[in-house]
Amino acid sequence: MVSLVTTRPGPVLREFELVDLLRARLAARRDDTRIGIGDDAAVLRPCPGHDLVATTDTLISGRHFPDDTSAFDVGYKALAVNLSDVAAMGAEPAWLTVSLSAPSLSRDWCERFIDGMQAACRACPTGTPIDIVGGDTTRTDTLTISVTALGQVAAGAAMHRAGAQAGQAIAVTGTLGDAAAGLRCWPQRATASTAQTDLIKRLTRPDLRRGSALIGQATSAIDISDGLLADLGHILAASGVGATIRLDALPYSTALASVVPEAADRQRLQATGGDDYELCVTMPLDARPALETALGCPLTVIGQVETRTGLRCLDGAGNVVAPDTLGAPGWDHFGMD
């Protein structure tokens, strides 16, 4: 159990003080936020000719982030994982609601939590501000944050998981495996090297991508939250196709190469480690340069969509690597004990 009061000394906030604090710090910045925090509900004006994208993700202390994560990083990550889902739909994020349940809260902890949320909004590459327009505060034993993100995309243009076609390339943004390696480094973070600190930062403050860049370029997309193999598997299943990927083509950071020099171990983290929140997309191979430019980040081809169902992983010599040697793909939140 996280005790916010003992880890962050300061007077405990009462609920109305917290609501006042949130209202003061989270004033609406968008013209289309007609009413923000403070009424029974927010009132938002959707952009004409656009569809609305809605997603909800809940983060629980000790399960989705270490118990001793800073308030800033909790706020950052709770928003980032939801903004990532909006990006995977090709949408521009616009509005967020945040439900915060905690044992008790100090003003200092809340201020840092808000700082982290606002930093995630600023870090999100989007053309307009993102407003936090409502939410809820309740008391519970385990710090729990539930966020709903709303985004907008031209009507009918949202990216699906089901659009992958045989012959198309599979690509990922940024680098993979950093967050999983960062989790390994977490216990040593007080004395971490620069490379280890970089990896931990990728765990706590994942990079956010410009999902709207996918429109008209990619044929399907998903964000990598449960691990590449699991999440790519969702695209393949929804599209009724299969794929082959090259493990030695998976992009890695210099920090990961430094901290995890052994290739097989590194590729395991890249293939099955979760929490990277990079985008995995399919597209015609010749769309890659323009899409990379539009995204404004590296976009690396890692394999190809095929008619034959199933997901095959090849090593550097072209040999098939059995999936179970890479570790069980993905997470089952109810299966873990």
* Residue 198 beta carbon to a second copy: minimum distance, rounded to whole angstroms: 27
**Near a second copy by CB under 8 A, which window of 66-74, 194-202, 307-315, 327-335?**
327-335
Question: Scanning residues 22 to 51, which ones bind a second copy (CB under 8 A)?
Answer: 34-35, 38-46, 48, 50-51
In contact, 75 and 112? CB cutoff 8 Å: yes
Question: Scanning residues 76 to 95, which ones bind a second copy (CB under 8 A)?
Answer: 85-86, 88-89, 91, 95
Nearer to a second copy, 82 or 175 (CB): 82
Dihedral sign for Cα 150, 29, 127, 224, please: negative
Q: What is the DSSP letter of 41?
A: S
12 binds a second copy (CB under 8 A): yes
* Residue 262 beta carbon to a second copy: minimum distance, rounded to whole angstroms: 32
The three-class DSSP label of residue 31 is coil
274/294 Cα distance (integer angstroms): 25
The DSSP bridge pattern shows strands 220-223 and 33-35 to be unpaired
71 binds a second copy (CB under 8 A): no
Nearer to a second copy, 41 or 317 (CB): 41
239/254 Cα distance (integer angstroms): 34
The three-class DSSP label of residue 101 is strand
Side-chain-side CA neighbours of residue 3 (13 Å): 5
- From the list 162, 159, 161, 153, the residue with the least C-alpha distance to 89 is 159
Nearer to a second copy, 128 or 148 (CB): 148
* Residue 191 beta carbon to a second copy: minimum distance, rounded to whole angstroms: 32
In contact, 152 and 53? CB cutoff 8 Å: yes
* Residue 238 beta carbon to a second copy: minimum distance, rounded to whole angstroms: 8
In contact, 73 and 204? CB cutoff 8 Å: yes
Q: Phi first, then psi: what are they for 311, rounded to 5°?
A: -120, 120
- From the list 222, 230, 269, the residue with the least C-alpha distance to 250 is 269
Nearer to a second copy, 18 or 263 (CB): 18
Nearer to a second copy, 27 or 285 (CB): 27
Nearer to a second copy, 32 or 115 (CB): 32
* Residue 194 beta carbon to a second copy: minimum distance, rounded to whole angstroms: 33
Question: Scanning residues 202 to 241, which ones bind a second copy (CB under 8 A)?
Answer: 221-223, 238
202/331 Cα distance (integer angstroms): 19
The site string for a second copy over 234-273 (x = CB under 8 A, - otherwise) reads ----x-----------------------------------
Nearer to a second copy, 99 or 128 (CB): 99
333 binds a second copy (CB under 8 A): yes
Residue with tokens 């980040």: 297
196 binds a second copy (CB under 8 A): no
Question: Scanning residues 119 to 158, which ones bind a second copy (CB under 8 A)?
Answer: 133-142, 144, 146, 148-151, 153, 155-156, 158
